[in-house]
Amino acid sequence: MSKTIPFNIPHIDGREYTYIKDTVKALKLSGNGIFTKKCQEFFQTRFGIKKALLTTSCTDALEMCAILLDITAGDEIIMPSYTFVSTALAFVRQGAKIVFIDSRSDHPGMNEDAIEKMITDKTKAIVTVHYAGVASDMDRILEIAERYNLYVVEDAAQGIDSYYYSKENIKKALGSIGHLAAFSFHETKNIQCGEGGLLAINDEKFIKRAEIIWEKGTNRAEFYRGEVNKYGWVDTGSSFLPSEITAAFLWAQLEKIDIIQKKRIKIWNKYLEGLSDWAITNNVQLPYIPEYATNNGHMFYMICPRANFRTKLIEYLKSKNINAVFHYLSLHSSDYYHDKHDGRMLIFTDKYTEQLLRLPLWYDMNESDISLVIKTINNFKFSD
Ligand SMILES: *Cc1c(COP(=O)(O)O)cnc(C)c1O
């Protein structure tokens, strides 16, 4: 029996244990301690984010965005349908109506050309998702947002250490461009701590209130900086900050980000090289990276020529002990939202829902794992 190649194995550097031990020894276990600050400063310095706040997940960081933008019943939020539930969840909880936009034909990201005609008097924000860590066209989105006075939120869950080149050829980190952005450190992401996230604030006017919402609606952060002499309940909020144990784990990963990214991109490039001929022969679409975007090696996906091709390929790989998966059932046709959706057909979203396939991609994959996946796929012949 040959060994199984799982879809994902979270990478552990080893230093995680050391930093967790330091934290436990120091008996500093609740949030907003030394490691939390190190992680936040890392994002601010490396990615040019004005203020970073660690959260317990990207889902939570998005909830903070919805609160900060004062989203209320009847507001409309524009976002792609081809994304994870969390992108929509926070806004729906505030009572917003989600206006779903189709994916691009060349890429599963949101079709920027389809945004403007869906804007109404009630539109409050555009939430974009940098699918597979590949940037949305941010100049276009910012230009539309500015013209209609809308907020821009980046779901950068998959976008760590990936970049957008603006029209002026300025390199901007994903998550540093919109008014607000959210990152994920879920164990399936490039940099992980099991469950974790980060809110990125790029418009200074949100910083003070974000700290309050983060600290259960209190002005504790100001109190600790000596800016006020007592702290109390001043706003809405929740317990959005993770414990120092989580931050300590995360710090070990962030210290190794360059090594991790380099290895993931190497695996990604091996897939691209090893599968291009097969893809042409079989009419399979491989990932497209626009000129203004970079690749952070988060995900290697391919788009099969039809749904049945994908089903057969997954079964075939499974029979060879390789776990390939698909994801994202269009949110506009989900059980929860389809009767609230306005009925527009989103043809590319549906296409990716039925035809997109993700290959195993994790840091500790070795050369023989990668070659085996490539060789196996090259041997696949589709028949109905
Ligand atoms: C992973 C992911 C999320 C959710 O992240 P959590 O940290 O698990 O809450 C949200 N949006 C996208 C696009 C994701 O890939």
One-letter amino acid identity for 18? Answer: T
- Ligand 1 neighbour 56 (Cβ under 6 A): no
Which of 54, 82, 158 maximizes ligand 1 atoms within 8 Å of its Cβ, making it the mutation to test the pocket? 158
How confident is the model at residue 137, as a pLDDT? Answer: 98
- What's the mean pLDDT when you consider all of the chain? 97
- Give per-residue pLDDT as tens, 19-43: 999 999 999 999 999 999 999 999 9
CA of 61, closest atom in ligand 1:
9
Judge whether residue 1 has pLDDT over 80: no
CA of 83, closest atom in ligand 1:
13
Record the pTM.
0.97
- Ligand 1 neighbour 246 (Cβ under 6 A): no
| CA 225 – ligand 1 centroid, Å | 32
Which of 89, 186, 199, 349 maximizes ligand 1 atoms within 8 Å of its Cβ, making it the mutation to test the pocket? 186
Percent of the chain with pLDDT over 90: 95
Q: What is the DSSP string of 316-340?
A: HHHHTTB--B-----GGGSTTTTTT
CA-CA distance, 156 to 52, in Å (whole number)? 13
- Ligand 1 neighbour 282 (Cβ under 6 A): no
- Ligand 1 neighbour 155 (Cβ under 6 A): yes
- Give per-residue pLDDT as tens, 165-199: 999 999 999 999 999 999 999 999 999 999 999 99
Residue 292 DSSP code: T
Angle at 34 between CA 33 and CA 38, to 5 degrees: 120
Residue 123 DSSP code: E
How confident is the model at residue 101, as a pLDDT? Answer: 98
CA-CA distance, 137 to 4, in Å (whole number)? 38
- Give per-residue pLDDT as tens, 82-100: 999 999 999 999 999 999 9
Judge whether residue 136 has pLDDT over 90: yes
- Ligand 1 neighbour 376 (Cβ under 6 A): no
- Give per-residue pLDDT as tens, 209-226: 999 999 999 999 888 889
CA-CA distance, 175 to 162, in Å (whole number)? 9
- Ligand 1 neighbour 186 (Cβ under 6 A): yes
Paired residues of 100 in beta bridges? 79
Identify the band that residue 317 occupies on the pLDDT scale cut at 50, 70 and 90: very high
| CA 62 – ligand 1 centroid, Å | 9
What are the start-end ranges of the H helices in the chain? 15-26, 34-47, 58-68, 86-93, 138-148, 207-214, 220-224, 244-255, 257-282, 307-319, 347-355, 367-378
Radius of gyration of the chain (CA): 21
- Ligand 1 neighbour 132 (Cβ under 6 A): no
The pLDDT of 110-130, averaged and rounded, is: 98
- Ligand 1 neighbour 202 (Cβ under 6 A): no
- Ligand 1 neighbour 55 (Cβ under 6 A): no
Judge whether residue 376 has pLDDT over 80: yes
- Ligand 1 neighbour 214 (Cβ under 6 A): no
How confident is the model at residue 3, as a pLDDT? Answer: 82
Of 329, 265, 276, 291, the residue nearest 107 (C-alpha): 291
- Give per-residue pLDDT as tens, 324-342: 999 889 999 999 999 999 9
How confident is the model at residue 51, as a pLDDT? Answer: 98
